[in-house]
Amino acid sequence: MTQALVRHLAALRVELNDGTIEPYCGGVFAIFGHGNVAGLGEALWQNRAELPTYRAHNEQGMALAAIAYSKAQFRQRIMAVSTSIGPGATNLVTAAAVAHVNRLPVLLLPGDTFASRAPDPVLQQIESFQNGDWSANDTLRPVTRYFDRITRAEQILTALPRAISVMTDPANCGPVCLALPQDVQTHVFDCPEEFLQPKLVRFRRPPADERELCRVAKWLRTAKKPLIVVGGGVLYSQACQELRDFAETYGIPVAETHGGKSSLPWDHPLNAGGIGVDGGPAANALAADADVVLAIGTRLQDFTTGSHALFAKAKLLSLNVQSFDATKWHSAPMVADARVGLVQLKAAVGEWKAYAQWTEHSKALAASWVKRVTELTTHVPKNVLPYDAEVIGAVRDSLNDNHGDSGKKDVVVCAAGTLPAELHKLWRATSPGNYHVEYGFSCMGYEIAGALGAKMANPDHEVIVMVGDGSYMMMNSEIATSVLLGKKLIIVVLDNRGYGCINRLQNASGTPSFNNMLDDCVPEGGSSSQIDFAMHARSMGAHAVHVKDIAELKAAMVKARAATTTQAIVIGTTHTRVTADGGCWWEVAIPEVSERADVREAHQRYASAKVSQRP
């Protein structure tokens, strides 16, 4: 059975958006155990020339790398992931959730207990007292788009094509799981020859319904002060040129979500920058004043919408391939592929334009923000610890000296903490995919593993990881994998000695610093945490240095770019300074009752802000 599975994957080809033909599956990450080594492992060995197998060091890490590979390939290609039946399988749950939230495909192939149940309970088997057919893999059901357990060998003939159809569906794309009982993996069956010669995969581009198209076009033509909010769907559809043409034709400013950042070059006159809780002042000011918002390919999560208060007074139009997203918050939906939908909408709107004063005002705000970003990222005060903006500037500009273009082949990878907020505002993406930040699930630990996947997808790009000490400690083992596979990364570790982002949120909610910064967490009899991140990275094969200031960071980045193996640069930073420009309200519930006056005051501010939410 697993021979058939592997040969089908190895033979499967996909027609990319540019017309080229490539293998659909870029390889299989595997950590072998007794649940997959004898069956699937043998099949992978037999077909190692056609379908490469990659050894990793952590199941969650390798799944995150596989997910990042697909993100970097704009969802056009995948990787598969194989684990054993117990902890290996449950280690996939967090990664599957990342893929589920971010609408990214990955093929999960965990081993499973014996379908025959003859040797039950086997090593690592979870026994349910209520359900005899449950195993550890059932934890993956809520976080996958498609789940199947192969209890007979011939079931692979229908299950694998169904899984692939989900991963290649533009609306339902996401993680799939085929749980593989270890005995069924080894069973023989008569496999049709056509299964081993699968048809070419071509992606669908569904057009809009005529009635929805007319309605959205009608609403847009009524707008005086429209704003476009772009999400990851623009990149996945590879609709960047269509977006640019649409914005320029009608004079509409564009605001970027994390997922949509890099859809327009950073210096395009209509690019107002990041929007939302961690957005810049230009985009947020436009959002607050807009009368119509056209959301394209975005899930409209609360960081984008300011918990539905940022553009609550605007008419919301939503172009999205997934109806679940297109109909959120009473929007006028237009369910369609982003590229096709933009072409249709442009034809339907016709000769209309946004008010000229609005377009010029938008360009002025965008230009002012570009100038301010340069100030924030290049002015470095003396005799104080740097903060994230100053580190970003040094890293971003290490390719050149014009404080602008971060390079068409630079990819920055990040996921959680303060850094995504600063990058959303301050990183300057030149071309699609330059900005690779996982902020749908905001998964600490994604950074280094995700960078590995991004590098495997784009080996000629310089992949730069920006990671805080907290996320580094959560998952760092794929440094060793990057060295093992010869996939060079540049890892910049910003050490602010704790969870600085959440500490600030805690303080803003009225509570003193507690259980976040390392120095606040030392109990009686304990000792202050002293972690040498550079030494740790060196122990896994990276070349690593600790730099004392921004000047040394710039010099280290030059050397890191010239190197051929994974590099780690560690710099101490402060959690007390952040970029104050921009931002908007975000709903974080504050206790209604507290002995602390600071908490009660915070609750009053919270209650006052809630009245501006979209009903």
Q: Which two tokens stand for residue 536?
A: 């740790």
The yes-or-no verdict on residue 204 having pLDDT over 60 is yes
Q: Residues 86-129: pLDDT tens digits?
A: 999 999 999 999 999 999 999 999 999 999 999 999 999 999 99
Summarize the confidence of residues 494-506 as an average pLDDT. 95
Question: What pLDDT does residue 407 have?
Answer: 56
**E strands, 56-121, in order:** 78-83, 106-112
Residues forming beta bridges with residue 255, ordered by sequence position: 229, 273
Q: How far apart are CA 221 and CA 204, in angstroms?
A: 29
At a CB cut-off of 8 Å and minimum separation 6, what does 269 contact?
363, 366, 367
Summarize the confidence of residues 308-334 as an average pLDDT. 96
* 275: exposed, middle or buried (Cβ count in 10 Å: 0-12, 13-18, 19+): buried
Summarize the confidence of residues 356-370 as an average pLDDT. 98
Sequence-ordered alpha helix ranges (H) in 78-123? 87-90, 92-102
Q: Tokens 């959002």 belong to which residue?
A: 287
The yes-or-no verdict on residue 171 having pLDDT over 80 is yes
The yes-or-no verdict on residue 401 having pLDDT over 60 is no
Question: What pLDDT does residue 400 have?
Answer: 56
Strand-by-strand arrangement of the 106-112 sheet: 53-55, 25-30, 78-83, 106-112, 175-181, 146-149
Q: How many CB atoms lie within 10 A of CB 249?
A: 13
Q: How far apart are CA 96 and CA 504, in angstroms?
A: 29
Assign 155 to helix, strand or coil.
Answer: helix
pLDDT interval class at 17 (50, 70, 90): confident
Question: What pLDDT does residue 399 have?
Answer: 73
Question: What pLDDT does residue 408 have?
Answer: 65
pLDDT interval class at 615 (50, 70, 90): confident
- Find the range with the poorest average confidence among 177-186, 402-411, 588-597: 402-411
Summarize the confidence of residues 64-68 as an average pLDDT. 98
Q: Tokens 């030149």 belong to which residue?
A: 430
For 525-587, the DSSP string reads: T-------HHHHHHHTT-EEEEESSHHHHHHHHHHHHH-SS-EEEEEE--SS----SS-----
The yes-or-no verdict on residue 405 having pLDDT over 50 is no
Q: How far apart are CA 267 and CA 290, in angstroms?
A: 22
Average pLDDT across the chain, whole number:
96
Assign 46 to helix, strand or coil.
Answer: helix
Domain annotation for the chain: domains and CATH numbers: 2-202 (3.40.50.970), 210-366 (3.40.50.1220), 379-572 (3.40.50.970)
At a CB cut-off of 8 Å and minimum separation 6, what does 119 contact?
none
Question: What pLDDT does residue 155 have?
Answer: 98
DSSP tally for the chain: helices H, then strands E? 23, 21
Q: How far apart are CA 425 and CA 93, in angstroms?
A: 31
Pairing outcome for strands 13-15 and 21-23: antiparallel
Most distant CA atoms of the chain, gap in Å: 76
First CA to last CA distance, the chain: 53
Question: What pLDDT does residue 519 have?
Answer: 92
The yes-or-no verdict on residue 223 having pLDDT over 50 is yes
pLDDT interval class at 593 (50, 70, 90): very high
